[in-house]
Amino acid sequence: MGDVQRLMYVHVPAAWTAFLAFFLVFIGSVLYLVQRDQRFDRFAAACAEVGIVFIALTLATGMIWGKPTWGVWWTWDARLTSTALLLAVFVGYLAIRGFTDDPDSRARWSAVVGILGFIQVPIVYLSVVWWRTLHQPPSSPRSVSSEILWTWMLNFVAFLLMFAYLVAQRSRLARVEAELEALEAYDV
Amino acid sequence: MEYTVAGYGLIWLSLIVYAWRTRRRLAEAERQLASQETE
């Protein structure tokens, strides 16, 4: 595989970070539906937006790796297709948020999509087990060397720090936007 | 080599641009909020 295998050191941790982001969307959505607290909705929306960035980067680095390795940028393989669908679901999640100005209705519909959208994560993970694919099966500590595993873990920690920073900034932005929305509604 | 550079470049550039854009959106929203509150 040569030098291009180094892309796996960012591709795999980016995918793990995106899965974590969508898991947090699921948690935030469930908590919103249980407690009806807008803070959970804002947290879920922040995680969804940052998760989209990481899943798009997972797809992009996979494509850049695929060209010299498989000879194509893209193929309708089960793992690639299900990951693209995961990206589309969460882009839809953000689109739905723009459909209504009512914060409660927006949060309720987003929470439903956030919970249903998370179902796609185990489908992506298990797609390489369920179907015959070009993409390799899931890696485990038994199937990769400890050097590769430690590099993945190190980059995962780096991405987690970046993820935490981005979600904190994005949540703060959502809070300020909510305050602005409330002020505008008060003026009307 | 060029594919590896392109991949790493894309990942870090995208994250930096997204972080910068989010900070800019936040600064703009905070400015708007401050001006609305003083009105």
pLDDT at A40 over 80: yes
Cβ of B4 within 8 Å of Cβ of A170? The answer is: no
Query: How much is the pLDDT for A42?
Result: 96
Query: How much is the pLDDT for A61?
Result: 96
Contacts (Cβ under 8 Å, ≥6 apart) of A50:
A21, A163, A166, A167, A170, B18
B35 touches chain A (CB under 8 A): no
Query: How much is the pLDDT for A144?
Result: 80
pLDDT at A187 over 80: no
Pick the residue with more confidence: A88 or A5?
Answer: A88
- What tokens does A109 get? 């519909």
In this structure, of A6-15, A111-120, A143-152, A173-182, the range with the lowest mean pLDDT score is A143-152
Q: What is the pTM of this model?
A: 0.93
Nearest-CA distance from B30 to chain A in Å? 6
A18 touches chain B (CB under 8 A): no
Cβ of B26 within 8 Å of Cβ of A173? The answer is: yes
